[in-house]
């Protein structure tokens, strides 16, 4: 664990220096200055929110949407560079004849996805032996790792396919406070039902079995339920843990499968977003704040992952469901009443 935290702490100490604090001379560079301001405080807040909520069953996307709005990162005004020329989210093309101007909101939305690299790093370092086993399985040297990898790929496919197909519709219709409130309530109901069902209907069947022994059709069921997490506010972690419950996994195993599946899913989603829109985000905020957000998210996510496994083992999901209900009520009052 020390090898994980020390580099991140070092990164956090260096990043504020890179952002240009008063009294510190920055070397001359040809890199354009950021087009809009994202303070160190904003980057830290968003990193903490991402780290806390990514693997807890409360929805990181929903919380980040709300945090961005609270921090004033919702402006739809088109941005221009230092030369006065417009910055583009999508440059004019055959697909986008008029182009899509870059705005503070679009840059912030991309920032909130890219800092998931911090959560990915946390899982990679905490579950390094399992990831090595997966790699050895891919190379044909670890049968157990190969079986687990196949299960993870099976669980990954439904959300990946449907997410790509509905991406534009989801971005247009579901990224807002209203849909998040509805998703928080719907997710809470699903969690309470799943927790009650688990306690009533069976004794734990997989407490002594590794995840590599999960039947492929159970992995497919978890992956199908993960599709619900495409709805911001629902929570990828919640849907995969609940899916694990319904497949007979004990809470600890369900959480571990959720973390490993999250590593695969987040790596794909974050990588895609970074490739397609990362450069536009850097034009707006610059590199230093992105690195700071990732570093904070990694440290906080590592702490939350360890805590969550112990909590689920002792108490289950119910407390998180009540939290979601309370949050939905607070949001409804704050934004609509």
| pLDDT tens, position by position, 64-75 | 988 998 999 988
- pLDDT for the residue 83: 74
CB 110 within 8 A of CB 280: yes
CA quadruple 88, 94, 95, 97: dihedral, nearest 10? 60
Question: What CA–CA distance (Å, rounded) separates 78 from 102?
Answer: 6
- pLDDT for the residue 202: 67
pLDDT band (50, 70, 90) for residue 21: very low
| pLDDT tens, position by position, 286-314 | 888 899 999 999 999 999 999 999 999 89
- pLDDT for the residue 324: 97
| pLDDT tens, position by position, 128-157 | 999 999 999 999 999 999 999 999 999 999
Q: How far is CA 267 from CA 91, 112, 113, 115, 331, in A?
A: 26, 14, 10, 11, 30
Share of the chain above pLDDT 90, in %: 58
Q: Residue ranges per domain, the chain?
A: 2-8+54-336
- pLDDT for the residue 203: 56
The DSSP 8-state label assigned to residue 230 in this structure reads: G
Q: Which residues lie across from 100 on neighbouring strands?
A: 90
CA quadruple 91, 93, 98, 102: dihedral, nearest 10? -20
- pLDDT for the residue 220: 96
Confidence check: pLDDT of 223 > 90: yes
Confidence check: pLDDT of 90 > 90: no
- pLDDT for the residue 34: 56
Indicate the average pLDDT of the chain: 85
Confidence check: pLDDT of 181 > 60: yes
Confidence check: pLDDT of 257 > 80: yes
Confidence check: pLDDT of 22 > 70: no
Confidence check: pLDDT of 48 > 80: yes
- pLDDT for the residue 37: 64
Q: pTM for the complete prediction?
A: 0.82
Question: What CA–CA distance (Å, rounded) separates 54 from 296?
Answer: 13
Could you tell me where the DSSP H helices lie in 115-142? 116-126, 128-138
């Amino acid at each position: 664990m020390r090898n994980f935290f020390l580099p991140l702490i070092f990164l956090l100490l260096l990043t504020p220096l890179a952002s240009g604090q008063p009294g510190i001379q920055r070397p001359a560079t040809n890199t354009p200055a950021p087009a809009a301001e994202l303070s160190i405080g904003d980057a830290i807040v968003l990193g903490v929110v991402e780290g806390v909520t990514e693997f807890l069953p409360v929805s990181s996307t929903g919380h980040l949407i709300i945090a961005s709005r609270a921090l004033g990162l919702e402006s739809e005004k088109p941005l221009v560079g230092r030369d006065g020329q417009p910055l583009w989210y999508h440059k004019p093309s055959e697909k986008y004849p008029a182009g899509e101007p870059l705005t503070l909101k679009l840059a912030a939305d991309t920032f909130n996805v890219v800092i998931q690299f911090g959560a990915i790093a946390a899982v990679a370092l905490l579950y390094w032996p399992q990831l090595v086993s997966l790699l050895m399985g891919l190379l044909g040297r670890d049968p157990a790792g190969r079986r687990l990898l196949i299960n993870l790929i099976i669980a990954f496919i439904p959300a990946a396919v449907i997410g790509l197909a509905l991406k534009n519709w989801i971005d247009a219709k579901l990224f807002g406070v209203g849909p998040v409130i509805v998703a928080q309530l719907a997710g809470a109901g699903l969690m309470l039902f799943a927790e009650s069902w688990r306690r009533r209907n069976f004794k734990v069947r997989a407490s002594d079995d590794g995840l590599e022994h999960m039947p492929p059709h159970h992995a497919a069921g978890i992956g199908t339920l993960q599709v619900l997490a495409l709805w911001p506010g629902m929570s990828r972690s919640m849907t995969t843990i609940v899916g694990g419950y319904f497949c007979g996994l004990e809470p600890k195993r369900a959480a571990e499968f959720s973390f490993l599946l999250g590593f695969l899913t987040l790596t794909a989603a974050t990588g895609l977003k970074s490739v397609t829109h990362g450069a536009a985000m850097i034009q707006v905020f610059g590199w230093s704040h992105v690195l700071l957000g990732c570093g904070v998210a990694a440290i906080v996510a590592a702490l939350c992952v360890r805590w969550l496994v112990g909590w689920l083992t002792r108490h289950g999901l119910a407390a998180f469901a009540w939290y979601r209900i309370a949050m939905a009520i607070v949001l409804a009052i704050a934004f609509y009443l």
